[in-house]
Amino acid sequence: MWSFAWPLVLMALPLPIIFRRLMPEATDLSEAGLRVPNIDNFSTLKDRSGKELLYKWRFWVATIAWILLVLAAARPERIGEDLDVPIAGRNLMMAVDLSSSMDQQDFELAGRRVDRLTATKAVARDFIERREGDRIGLILFGEQAYLQVPLTLDRETVNTLLMEAFIGLAGQKTAIGDAITLAVRRVHKQDGNEGDQVLVLLTDGANTAGEVQPIKAAELAQQVGLRIYTIGIGAEQQKVSSIFGGQRLINPSIDLDENTLTKIASLTGGRYFRATDTTSLQDIYKLIDELEPVEEPEFGFRPIKSYFHYPLGLAVLLAASMSLVSLIERVALTRVSEVSVNAD
């Protein structure tokens, strides 16, 4: 769609006509720039030059130049199609436990038994895909905590590196406090971190390693406004073979420290969730989507390209052409005058 940025400027188009009507005609020729002894010497030149045609040519060229100049001042522009511009989302860190206990196969995925990490990857992948507009970071922790992906809008990279993670990559133990501290440090250093700061921490055990205790780390998170959602993963009971034959029920999540995870979430304004199977884990991530909704675009953006330089350039070119013609005419008249004087 074509439009003008300043359409009121177009009201200046009739100004030359108005001034021509209002201004009195010039009658005093005493200040003429060219004086000759005999005007009859110019009769032949007048006939051959087509003075009347030259005047009309100048008039139309000047008119076109004026119209182009006014159009340029009105700033013609082309407005493109609407583009959705998502509002800047939140900083969302994800911390995933890679300790040895995540190898426990007490989850099902597509009808087959899988370990906890495999189920986490499948569910977290869909969660990451839904977080359009959020800056997502990935922390992998075991005995130590590592920043695998800094906060980024590139969700595909986050998913790829999460899929490449494996159990034992960060050690066999669990350093929950260090993972939270690392998230606090990365969020605090992030430029423009005045928006929502969220950490989703998933683990199946208790803090057994690291330099910082989980509650102390949660207090640091509270100071920087980092809201933590903790997820305790692991089935509540599982059938295993008995050494005496048959099967017996055990609790594969006996090491899960739910009290600490609940305190961490409560202290930072988040929530604690318990995932006992793949379905409940999916429901938890969907609930986090509801608690921390993705920002929707509130307005559209239309790209605007300005074209004022085209009419402006043509107007300058026409003005330069008129000036050049006037200069040539003056030179020609001067030479004719010199010839006439010498002839006299």
CA separation for the pair 341, 344 (Å, rounded): 5
Query: 182 to each of 28, 110, 124, 155, 212, how far by Cα in Å?
Result: 89, 34, 20, 20, 10
- Chain-centroid distance of CA 32 in Å reads 65
Q: What is the pLDDT of residue 250?
A: 67
CA separation for the pair 226, 246 (Å, rounded): 48
Q: What is the mean pLDDT of each run of 10 residues along the chain (344 residues)?
A: 84 82 64 49 46 65 86 85 63 94 90 92 94 92 94 94 93 94 86 74 93 95 94 81 62 87 96 94 94 71 80 86 78 66 56
Q: What is the pLDDT of residue 166?
A: 93
Q: What is the pLDDT of residue 202?
A: 96
Q: What is the pLDDT of residue 176?
A: 96
Q: What is the pLDDT of residue 31?
A: 52
Q: What is the pLDDT of residue 38?
A: 47
Which residues, other chains included, contact 71 with Cβ-Cβ below 8 Å and sequence gap of 6+?
10, 308, 311
CB 166 within 8 A of CB 201: no
Which residues, other chains included, contact 6 with Cβ-Cβ below 8 Å and sequence gap of 6+?
73, 74, 75
Which residues, other chains included, contact 154 with Cβ-Cβ below 8 Å and sequence gap of 6+?
none
CB 308 within 8 A of CB 76: yes
Calculate ∠ Cα 227-232-238, nearest 5°. 170
pTM (predicted TM-score): 0.63
Q: What is the pLDDT of residue 129?
A: 94
Q: What is the pLDDT of residue 47?
A: 44
